[in-house]
């Protein structure tokens, strides 16, 4: 996960507005990172998922021990292609075929759901996303694994305009090409959606804590279509749906590949706010958004605190659990 800034137009508008067979797709999964000391073994991690009834996981690179531990469990998996491999996979179909062979075909007992070709890719490297996706998808189809969908995981700031949600539009042309590929293959767009960063950057000038954490008290009307928003998360997701429509790809669904709230390390970061947000998220996504009803597949970031992560101090404190597997706070799946 990387820091992201909510489109500035939102704050002003709020002020004015006051192979394994696939398991069934459920609403909530949890991202599993590895940048922490004394983290549980992969087999312990998988058993914790099972014991808590968490049936979906995201990992950020192919790691043989976690893949072995997942084998036969029917836990649905998002697995990332490391950003550093994008250029190679984009330029070489044989490299993509080798990646699929070594990491997917070699693990037939794992319930792969999506392959995220890059996570929050920015700058000049975005030119590698689409050709890498195409080559990985072709390799999967050639291997008889076309049921595994290929996408990429994007930062929220791929959206240039986000409020009201109905004006959502992609910032850069490459995202339109990505969206068209997703429409052609029936894959969702994976999006990292963090109301926390919008709240943190705004410093409560316009975005109130209750609106950011699924609590009652704020209602914002989209003047473009009359839809009413009672939480920032819905407004962010629906602006992505609006951007997909403007790209000519209304059939593409959204999977929230990361969302969460830190328990320490920055403005608004506390155990209480993290518990309120994450429990609210779990309860909320069962019903979708004002624009799209039905369960919204969502992955909480993250399973454990990771004290070796770089970046802002908050990056170390998103865990639902401590490294000794004790809950950071009460949460019910």
Which residues lie across from 255 on neighbouring strands? 190
120 is catalytic: yes
Tokens of 53: 């009834």
258 is catalytic: yes
Of 191, 172, 245, 231, nearest to 4 (Cα)? Answer: 191
Instruction: Tell me which of 184, 245, 258, 297 is the catalytic residue.
Output: 258
Structure tokens at 325: 């597997």
User: 190: which strand partners?
Assistant: 153, 255
Q: Provide the strand spans (E) within the chain.
A: 28-31, 56-59, 76-81, 111-119, 149-154, 159-161, 169-170, 189-192, 220-221, 228-229, 254-259, 298-300
Asked if 154 and 120 count as a contact pair (C-beta separation under 8 A), the reply is yes
Which stretches of 101-172 are DSSP H helices?
Answer: 129-142
CA dist 183 and 253 (Å) reads 9
Q: Which of 44, 63, 120, 313 is catalytic?
A: 120
For the annotated catalytic residues, the residue numbers are 120, 258
């Amino acid at each position: 996960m990387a820091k992201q800034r909510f489109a500035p137009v939102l704050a002003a508008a709020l002020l004015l507005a006051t192979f394994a067979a696939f398991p069934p797709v459920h609403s909530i999964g949890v991202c599993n990172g590895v940048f922490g000391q004394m983290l549980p073994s992969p087999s312990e991690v998988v058993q914790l998922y099972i014991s808590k009834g968490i049936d979906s996981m995201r990992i950020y690179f192919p790691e043989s021990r976690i893949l072995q531990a997942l084998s036969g469990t029917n836990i649905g998996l998002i697995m990332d292609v490391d950003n550093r491999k994008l250029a190679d996979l984009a330029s070489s179909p044989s490299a993509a075929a080798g990646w699929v062979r070594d990491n997917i075909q070699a693990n037939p007992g794992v319930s792969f759901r999506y392959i995220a070709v890059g996570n929050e890719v920015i700058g000049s490297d975005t030119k590698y996303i689409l050709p890498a996706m195409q080559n990985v998808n072709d390799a999967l189809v050639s291997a008889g694994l076309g049921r595994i969908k290929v996408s990429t995981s994007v930062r929220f700031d791929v959206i240039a305009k986000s409020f009201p949600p109905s004006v959502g539009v992609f910032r850069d042309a490459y995202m339109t090409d990505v969206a068209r590929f997703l429409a052609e293959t029936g894959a969702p767009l994976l999006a990292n959606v963090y109301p926390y960063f919008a709240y943190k950057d705004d410093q409560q000038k316009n975005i109130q804590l209750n609106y950011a954490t699924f609590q009652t008290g704020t209602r914002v009307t989209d003047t473009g279509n009359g839809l009413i928003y009672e939480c920032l998360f819905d407004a962010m997701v629906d602006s992505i749906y609006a951007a997909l429509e403007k790209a000519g790809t209304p059939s593409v669904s959204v999977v929230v590949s990361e969302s969460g709230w830190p328990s320490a390390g920055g403005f608004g970061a506390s155990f209480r706010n993290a518990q309120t947000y994450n429990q609210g998220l779990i309860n909320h996504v069962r019903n979708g958004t004002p624009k799209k009803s039905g369960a919204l597949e969502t992955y909480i970031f993250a399973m454990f605190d990771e004290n070796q992560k770089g970046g802002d101090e908050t990056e170390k404190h998103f865990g639902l659990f401590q490294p000794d597997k004790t809950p950071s706070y009460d949460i019910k799946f």
